[in-house]
Amino acid sequence: MAMLELKNVHAHYGKIHALKNVSIKVNKGEIVTLIGGNGAGKSTTLKTISGTLKPSSGQVFLNGEDLAKYPAHEIVKKGIVQVPEGRRIFGQLTVMENLDLGAFTSKDKKKDAQTIEKIFELFPRLAERCRQVAGTLSGGEQQMLAMGRALMTNPKILLLDEPSMGLAPVLVDNVFKTIKILHAEGTTILLVEQNARMALKTASRGYVIQTGKVIFEDDAKKLLENEMVKKAYMGD
Amino acid sequence: MTKAQSLWNHGVKIGAIGGVSVLIIALVGMIESFGKRDIISGILPMGIAMALIICILVAYIAANKTPICEKSVKFANAVISGFVTSGFLALLVAIGRSFNIRDMFVGASPALYKALTAGIAGAGGIFLILAVGLICGIFAGILIILNDLPRKLIINALATIFVLGLLQELIIPIFKSWDFGVTNYLGKLFYTQNGLTIFGTVLAAVIYCIISLLWKANQDTIKTTYKDLPKGTRKKVKTFGFFVLAVFLIVLPQFLGLFLSEVLTIVGLYILLGLGLNIVVGYAGLLDLGYVAFFAIGSYVVAILTSPEIFSFGFNFWQALPIAVILGITAGVMLGIPVLKMRGDYLAIATLGFGEIIRILVLSDFLKPWLGGAQGIGAIPNPNFMGFQMVKPQHIYYLILAGCMLVVFISIRLKNSRLGRAWMAMREDEDVAQAMGINLVATKLFAFATGAGFSALSGAIFASKIGSVYPHSFNLFISINVVCLIIIGGIGSLPGVVVGAAVLMGLPELLREFAEYRMFVYGAALVAMMLLRPEGLWPEARHKIELHGDDETQTQTAA
């Protein structure tokens, strides 16, 4: 059984039909990527998963349980955590306070301390700057912080919304390296990206979404070689 | 532009801004009406002192903004600015004397010209104004040239004199009420019937300088000694400090007369309101402009339950108080539910409407049989504490003090709690807060409810203090006052609320002349604060870092 499954999901913003019959599966321990252009419905898909936008029809399952009845903040407790697009760190709080708020749903202080240790191991830069105001971090560091903050809950599945957006090429490489490390440690990841080449190189499977519909679904390697995908999303 | 022009640019431009400011305060009549009170007896009326302060301040800013580092240029700019500023006033006097401009400017009266020219007729008076402007400029220029230490000393000594003169009505009764030979003697030494004596002025400046020099010489030793103390002792010192503060607050009304205690209770009620709104605006970041509604609800609940005028429920104050607070909280939740999805400006407008709805409801004829309509509800009994009737403001003061202590305690605890962290996250970014697993609905409603509860508490005390409630006591200005005092004090800061309430509510009561220009002064103060000290008078540590940068973090970034 898939860990996360979207089954025939439709979603609307008022009259705009943003998602049309989207079905996606993410198995435990997988990196799955969802690629597509601007306005294709990538972020909307993530919104229906994290509960901030309820599907108008269709279901979202986590380990077989329908998530429709849970409000957004309960879904976080279920183990689905999102790293929002554009990082959205709490710029006026310190790095430590950001991480602390990431662990908001947790009530086990000891475990939180261990998780912080782990995150600092993964991102040593954050440890160096733990008392600095987060808004003064560089873009790459802010992305680290956003990911660290999401990891504070020890999520079952991590939703990454365009983590490479607005970063220099070197830093983009770093972000994808980190994603691989997280994957190696056993985190399940759904990666939404515009940088299709990097995303498909990192992921095991991929979905291509266009105007609210999933148009391709295949192993990442095969998608990398798909002429249509190459032409539309990799500029070849 | 030639080089010479660009050199004098700052002096002329900023001096002109100062000139316009001085013109405005002259034409709205502030100089004249403030002229009745002297800072220094017979020499310096308050209105003139204000004009001088503006003139000097503007000249100082002009010099400070001059980018060229040569001191002579800065000095020259200060002088030019002072001269330009006074030029506006001189022009006003010259024009006003020859033409009648009172049709347009009511404040432009012969009395104003007399005050500005110190009674000298003809061209002499105009030259006097220009000369004084020049002197102000030179003075500001000297301040710029001086080193840090003497500059601070001079500025602060002058500020001390100004404050002593400004608050004479606060200080003289305290001297008198002690009625010892010494205090009477001191009172006469420093003050005349109107303003400081010349001897007192000099003495105050000298005393200030001696104290601050002593402090300067010893502050490092004192600070390091304090830091080197063992933790237990340091804690004891702190506890002792709190103890002294508590004793001071408890005995305070005994020294202040009836009038000052009354002022203190007004400030206290606003502190309560401010602490409540501080939770909504400062902690949770929800701009609530209808805050007066809960104050009104608290007042009216106490009025209805305790006054025999409409119903005779026959409750006493203590029985009515919890009901008032609970109903206030309920109203807070009821307001919160429809505005849950609103943010920023929209929320402000919606809450503004709510405040007006409550005021219009209590004013309405339809609800008159229950709420008293425009006539309000009177005959509210004073609170009774263990058989002791709280009649005088000094008694109510203790009630308010207890309320403030309770609310401060709750505020501190809330801030460091889980809920406080949720508020902080919500204030920073609602969407992300939700993505962190924070229940936005509950968190928002808690903020509204807590704030409303504090406000209702303040209203309940207000009703029993005044003894009657009228719809017009609960107008929009109360909400605006509370928002202003929070901004001026420092958003999110508890001591800031106290300072803000004291400055915005206490000072206008003490300076009768201000009452007429209250809104004008608020507006000017808000603009000045935003420009000069956007973080507030006593800011929360975090905001200070945001707006001015933290040296420590900056060096870290550099490294």
Q: Which of B290, B295, B310, B305 has its CA nearest to residue B367?
A: B310
Are A93 and B437 an interchain contact pair (Cβ–Cβ within 8 Å)? no
Residue B178: pLDDT over 70: no
Are A104 and B425 an interchain contact pair (Cβ–Cβ within 8 Å)? yes
Are A82 and B435 an interchain contact pair (Cβ–Cβ within 8 Å)? yes
Q: Residue B405: what pLDDT?
A: 93
Are A131 and B553 an interchain contact pair (Cβ–Cβ within 8 Å)? yes
Residue of B432, B439, B545 to mutate, testing the A interface (most A Cβ within 10 Å of its Cβ) = B432
Give ∠ CA B354-B360-B361 in degrees, rounded to 5.
Answer: 90
**Percentage, residues of chain B above pLDDT 90:** 36
pLDDT tier for residue A58 given thresholds of 50, 70 and 90: very high
pLDDT tier for residue B558 given thresholds of 50, 70 and 90: very low
CATH of residue A7's domain is 3.40.50.300
Residues of B with CB under 8 A from a CB of A: 418, 421-422, 424-425, 428-429, 431-440, 542, 545-546, 550, 553, 556-557
Report phi then psi at B345, rounded to 5: -60, -40
A127 touches chain B (CB under 8 A): no
Do B486 and B283 form a contact (C-beta atoms < 8 A)? no
User: Containing H/E element for A165?
Assistant: none
Residues 6+ apart with CB under 8 A from B185: none
3-state SS of B59-87 is HHHHHHHCCCCCHHHHHHHHHHHHHHHHH
Residues 6+ apart with CB under 8 A from A44: A11, A13, A18, A19, A53, A212
Dist CA B32 CA B513 (whole Å): 10
Are B424 and A102 an interchain contact pair (Cβ–Cβ within 8 Å)? no
Q: Which of B196, B206, B199 has its CA nearest to residue B162?
A: B196
Q: Which residues of B touch A102 (CB under 8 A)?
A: 436
Give the DSSP letter of residue B383. Answer: P
pLDDT tier for residue B5 given thresholds of 50, 70 and 90: low
Burial class, B422, CB count within 10 angstroms (exposed 0-12 / middle 13-18 / buried 19+): buried
Are B432 and A84 an interchain contact pair (Cβ–Cβ within 8 Å)? yes
| pLDDT, tens digit, 9 for 90 and up, residues A10-30 | 999 989 999 999 999 999 999
Q: Where is average pLDDT lowest: A120-124, A181-185, A232-236?
A: A232-236
Give the residue from chain B lying closest to A94, CA to CA.
B542
Do B174 and B255 form a contact (C-beta atoms < 8 A)? yes
Q: Which domain holds residue A69?
A: 1-79+158-167+192-236
Is A197 a domain residue?
Answer: yes
Do A31 and A18 form a contact (C-beta atoms < 8 A)? no
What is the rounded (10 degree) CA torsion for A207, A212, A215, A218?
A: 10
A19 touches chain B (CB under 8 A): no
Closest Cα of chain A to B171: distance in Å?
Answer: 43
Give the residue from chain B lying closest to A130, CA to CA.
B553
Residue of A54, A73, A89, A125 to mutate, testing the B interface (most B Cβ within 10 Å of its Cβ) = A73
Are B557 and A52 an interchain contact pair (Cβ–Cβ within 8 Å)? no
pLDDT tier for residue B360 given thresholds of 50, 70 and 90: very high
Q: Residue A236: what pLDDT?
A: 65
Dist CA A22 CA A217 (whole Å): 11
Are B428 and A71 an interchain contact pair (Cβ–Cβ within 8 Å)? no
Q: Residue B551: what pLDDT?
A: 43
Query: Can you tell me the mean pLDDT for B400-425?
Result: 93
Q: Out of B83-97, B383-397, B515-529, B540-554, give the one with best mean pLDDT.
A: B83-97
Residue of A104, A125, A131, A147 to mutate, testing the B interface (most B Cβ within 10 Å of its Cβ) = A104
Is A163 a domain residue?
Answer: yes
Do B223 and B208 form a contact (C-beta atoms < 8 A)? no
Are B436 and A149 an interchain contact pair (Cβ–Cβ within 8 Å)? yes
Dist CA B382 CA B376 (whole Å): 17
pLDDT tier for residue B2 given thresholds of 50, 70 and 90: low
Counting other chains too, the contacts that B395-398 makes at CB distance below 8 Å and 24 or more residues apart are: B396/B265, B396/B461, B396/B464, B396/B465, B397/B252, B397/B253, B397/B261, B397/B264, B397/B265, B397/B268, B398/B250, B398/B253
Is A23 a domain residue?
Answer: yes
Closest Cα of chain B to A225: distance in Å?
Answer: 36
Do B83 and B134 form a contact (C-beta atoms < 8 A)? yes
User: Which pair of tokens denotes residue B230?
Assistant: 């063992």
What ipTM was estimated for this complex? 0.87
Residue B546: pLDDT over 60: no
Q: Give one DSSP letter per residue of B483-503, joined into a string.
A: HHHHHHH-TT-HHHHHHHHII
User: Containing H/E element for A215?
Assistant: strand A213-219
Is A40 a domain residue?
Answer: yes
Give the DSSP letter of residue B536. Answer: -
| pLDDT, tens digit, 9 for 90 and up, residues A74-129 | 999 999 999 988 889 998 889 999 999 998 888 888 888 999 999 999 898 899 98
Residue of B415, B419, B436, B445 to mutate, testing the A interface (most A Cβ within 10 Å of its Cβ) = B436
Dist CA B273 CA B477 (whole Å): 13
Q: Residue B554: what pLDDT?
A: 41
Residues 6+ apart with CB under 8 A from B535: B490, B543, B544, B546, B547, B548
How many CB atoms within 10 Å of residue B466?
16
Q: Which residue has the higher pLDDT, B533 or A160?
A: A160
Residue B519: pLDDT over 70: yes
Dist CA B490 CA B508 (whole Å): 20
Q: Which of B81, B87, B83, B84 has its CA nearest to residue B64?
A: B81
Is A50 a domain residue?
Answer: yes
Give the DSSP letter of residue B195. Answer: S
Q: Residue A204: what pLDDT?
A: 92
| pLDDT, tens digit, 9 for 90 and up, residues B465-485 | 999 999 999 989 899 999 999
3-state SS of B93-130 is HHHHHHCCCCCCCCCCCHHHHHHHCCCCCCHHHHHHHH
Q: Residue A185: what pLDDT?
A: 87
Dist CA B297 CA B308 (whole Å): 18
| pLDDT, tens digit, 9 for 90 and up, residues B56-86 | 999 988 888 877 777 888 888 889 999 999 9
Q: Which of A232, A222, A211, A224 has its CA nearest to residue A40?
A: A211
Give the residue from chain B lying closest to A138, CA to CA.
B557
Amino acid at B437: G
Do B559 and A128 form a contact (C-beta atoms < 8 A)? no
Q: Where is average pLDDT lowest: A212-221, B301-310, B384-393?
A: B384-393
Give the residue from chain B lying closest to A146, CA to CA.
B432
Q: Residue A180: what pLDDT?
A: 92
Number of domains in chain A: 1
Closest Cα of chain B to A222: distance in Å?
Answer: 34
Is A205 a domain residue?
Answer: yes
Distances (CA, A) of A236 to A38, A192, B112, B343: 18, 21, 81, 45
Dist CA B105 CA B123 (whole Å): 23
Residue B170: pLDDT over 80: no
Q: How many CB pairs under 8 A join A and B?
A: 68
Residue B557: pLDDT over 50: no
Interhelix angle B440-466/B317-336, nearest 10 degrees: 140
Do A72 and A81 form a contact (C-beta atoms < 8 A)? no
A92 touches chain B (CB under 8 A): yes
Binning chain B into helix, strand and coil, the percentages to the nearest 5 are 75, 0, 20
Dist CA B190 CA B164 (whole Å): 10
Q: Residue B549: what pLDDT?
A: 52
Residue of A78, A83, A88, A92 to mutate, testing the B interface (most B Cβ within 10 Å of its Cβ) = A92
Residue B226: pLDDT over 70: yes
Residue B253: pLDDT over 60: yes
Give the residue from chain A lying closest to B543, CA to CA.
A92
Strand partners, A24: A6
Do B375 and B422 form a contact (C-beta atoms < 8 A)? no
Closest Cα of chain B to A39: distance in Å?
Answer: 20
Do B306 and B315 form a contact (C-beta atoms < 8 A)? yes
Average pLDDT of chain B to the nearest whole number? 86
pLDDT tier for residue B167 given thresholds of 50, 70 and 90: confident
Amino acid at B24: I
Give the DSSP letter of residue B371. Answer: H
Q: Residue B230: what pLDDT?
A: 80
Is A219 a domain residue?
Answer: yes
Helix segments in B256-316, DSSP class H: 258-277, 292-306
A108 touches chain B (CB under 8 A): no
Q: Which of A77, A18, A21 has its CA nearest to residue A51?
A: A77
Closest Cα of chain B to A48: distance in Å?
Answer: 12
Is A127 a domain residue?
Answer: no
Amino acid at A18: A
Q: Where is average pLDDT lowest: B103-107, B215-219, B321-325?
A: B103-107
In sequence order, what E strands does B357-497 have?
Answer: 384-385, 388-389
Q: Where is average pLDDT lowest: B110-114, B125-129, B272-276?
A: B110-114
pLDDT tier for residue B4 given thresholds of 50, 70 and 90: low
